[in-house]
Amino acid sequence: MGPELNAAVDVPVAMLALAQGLSSPERNEKMKFSLSAAVSETVVSFRRVFALAIMLVVIAACTEPVEPTAIPSDKGVAKAGFTRLQADQPLAYTSPVHPFMAQAGLNSMHGDSYNSDVHAVAGPQGLNTTILSRVGSQAPGGMCATTTFSSDGKLITLCASMMGFRINLLEPRTLRLLAEYSLPLRSSSYRALLHLDRSIIMEDTSGAYFYLDHEDRVVMADNKQIIHRIAYRQTGRDSWEFYQEESWDLSATIPSDCLRPNNPFPAGECDPITAVMPDYSGLIWWVTRAGRVGTLGKASGALNMIQLADEEIQNGFAVAQDGVYIVSDKAMYAFRAAPSGLPEVIWREPYDRGSARKVGSINQGSGTAPTLLSNYVTITDNADGRINLLVYRRQLGASSERLVCKVPLFSEGHSAAENSMIAFNRSIILENNAGYTSVFGEHDWATAGGGIVRVDVRENESGCDIIWQSSERAPSVVPKLALSTGIAYFYNFMPAEDGTIAWYLMGLDYVTGETLFKIHTGNGKNFDNNWAPITLGSDGTAYVGTSKGLLAIYDEI
């Protein structure tokens, strides 16, 4: 952003301080008086909304630097990690092949349409390790929430800040920026700015789930209820660009009276699209927070929709050849499309949603995206006391029941799950997210997370067994399994010697659950992963989204 752009707009000091204050609790306290003069509990003057809109446009107009800016770390000496001793244990697995998505392991937050969180590659093991990082945005925030890979190995990431989402094309390992594409700011970010309540952002999963299709194109929904198909191309020897290849406007079908600079006083319903994914026939399925489930015909633009009455969808969903698997805050569903494209329920299984939302959960319901393995689909419930792992048969035999097993997890009164589990053959690996809120709200680290478990479905389908349990704490990461080495990757924390929080990329042995190594990545809030995933590249690099950007971690051996 050049000085001429800075001079072009007289941004009100109070509004600028408001945006800056979102990264500092101390400044937030000092801003309360200024905020009360500018913003009331329920009414914001149009003038100030307009001024805020100008500020957002000015900051959003700034392009990100090509060369990465390293994520700053708090000072502090980290505790020692562990060194890997035993040999690699490769695992055999057949990845799902989806005709309308990029290769499994590369195409979405959870790696594939099964949400298996499995990668057929290796990752770092703490052997002469290099750690590079990139600040995700010049604006407050910058977390890179989803990382995928193009067929030629480039990173395609979605990075979020208080000024909106950006799709970035990055060079592998170096994290150099090759191209970027800006998307509209979410309504929840406007509300967070206006009310100084950052928790509003953390309760909104809209826009975070995109997929990479079979031609390396990003398919995702924005805050204006538009589904985009965004491609990239080379424009010169060292230059690239994203461009919108096609889009479909769903705003006439999905309620979209949302808070925006041009709509400062919304009075109707705003129901953002949570996630999109294609089925095996090529229909794009989409879900919204208020329980709408729909399909989009790419060629015809035909839209079909149903709504689950009084149900909320805050997770991504899974797709297999036999159906589309969606979890609401009250039930697990299997869907298929009728010949017209209308979503039809194949089966519905209600679960125990408990009496209240837990600390470590976004809503009062299952926090896990449905995950497919073998002939099953698995989620957790939100039962009081201890949550349960639920495994359902996707297809029923003549005398079989839908539920295979119900396994209580973790400890009484400290048990919650808000992330998809790893699913490999008949095994399920899950972390405990109880007690963790977000990078903004976490203050009591003694209660954050606590426990990782592996559960296997018995071959005779008579139930499930806990194979191992680890006491390690991985409070909010989307974990991944590296098949080439048999290592399950998590993101762990330990208090440093000076009381700061030190963060580690951690490897557990898939067979035994033993902690194999911990690679120190940095200290403080900037290195808190804040619900972002680990993603493994084909060259052995692990990418970890943090609250401030993206890490690249690899062994130089």
Which helix (H) or strand (E) segment holds residue 322: the answer is none
Inter-CA distances, 397 with 114, 331, 445, Å = 22, 22, 47
Question: Cα–Cα distance between 250 and 157 in angstroms, integer?
Answer: 24
Phi and psi torsions of 6, nearest 5°: -60, -40
Higher pLDDT, 93 or 347: 347
Q: Do 324 and 316 form a contact (C-beta atoms < 8 A)?
A: no
pTM of the model: 0.89
- The CATH class for the domain spanning 204-222+224-350 reads mainly beta
Map out the domains of the chain as residue ranges: 1-62, 204-222+224-350
Report the 10 Å Cβ neighbour count for 396.
11
Q: What is the pLDDT of residue 539?
A: 95
Q: What is the mean pLDDT of the chain?
A: 87
Give CA angle at 180 (174, 185), nearest 5°: 125
Q: What are the contacts of 466-471 at 24+ separation with CB within 8 A?
A: 466/407, 467/427, 467/513, 468/512, 468/513, 469/513, 470/508, 470/513, 470/515
| pLDDT exceeds 70 at position 246 | yes
Higher pLDDT, 147 or 60: 147
Q: What is the mean pLDDT of residues 167-190?
A: 92
| pLDDT exceeds 90 at position 300 | yes
**Neighbouring-strand partners of residue 144:** 159
Question: Cα–Cα distance between 536 and 122 in angstroms, integer?
Answer: 7
Backbone dihedral region for residue 390 (phi beyond 0: left; psi -120 to 50: alpha; all else: beta): beta
- E strand map for 297-402: 303-307, 318-320, 323-327, 331-337, 343-350, 371-373, 376-380, 388-393
| pLDDT exceeds 60 at position 399 | yes
Contacts of 456 (CB under 8 A, 6+ apart): 426, 427, 428, 464, 465, 467
| pLDDT exceeds 80 at position 51 | no
Q: What is the mean pLDDT of residues 265-287?
A: 95
Contacts of 95 (CB under 8 A, 6+ apart): 104, 105, 112, 116, 118, 120
Comparing 438-447, 457-466, 501-510, which segment has the lowest mean pLDDT? Answer: 438-447
Question: Cα–Cα distance between 381 and 353 in angstroms, integer?
Answer: 6
| pLDDT exceeds 80 at position 49 | no
| pLDDT exceeds 50 at position 522 | yes
| pLDDT exceeds 70 at position 37 | no
Q: What is the pLDDT of residue 60?
A: 52
Kindly state the percentage of the chain with pLDDT values over 90: 70
Which has the closest alpha carbon to 492: 526, 519, 453? 519
- Residue 280: what residue type? Y
Higher pLDDT, 40 or 333: 333
Which has the closest alpha carbon to 358: 371, 349, 368, 348? 368
Q: What is the pLDDT of residue 43?
A: 46
214 SS3 class? coil
Q: What is the mean pLDDT of residues 232-246?
A: 95
Express each pLDDT in 66-106 by its tens digit: 999 999 999 876 776 777 666 578 999 898 999 999 999 99
Q: Do 404 and 463 form a contact (C-beta atoms < 8 A)?
A: yes
Express each pLDDT in 133-143 by its tens digit: 999 988 777 89
| pLDDT exceeds 60 at position 309 | yes
Inter-CA distances, 33 with 12, 55, 162, Å = 15, 21, 22
Supply 518's token pair. Answer: 């911990």
Q: What is the pLDDT of residue 14?
A: 30
| pLDDT exceeds 70 at position 277 | yes
Kindly state the percentage of the chain with pLDDT values over 70: 86
Supply 146's token pair. Answer: 């989803």
Backbone dihedral region for residue 446 (phi beyond 0: left; psi -120 to 50: alpha; all else: beta): alpha
Q: What is the pLDDT of residue 349?
A: 98
Q: What is the mean pLDDT of residues 526-536?
A: 95
Beta strand pairing call for 211-212 and 218-221: antiparallel
Express each pLDDT in 213-233 by its tens digit: 999 999 999 989 999 999 999
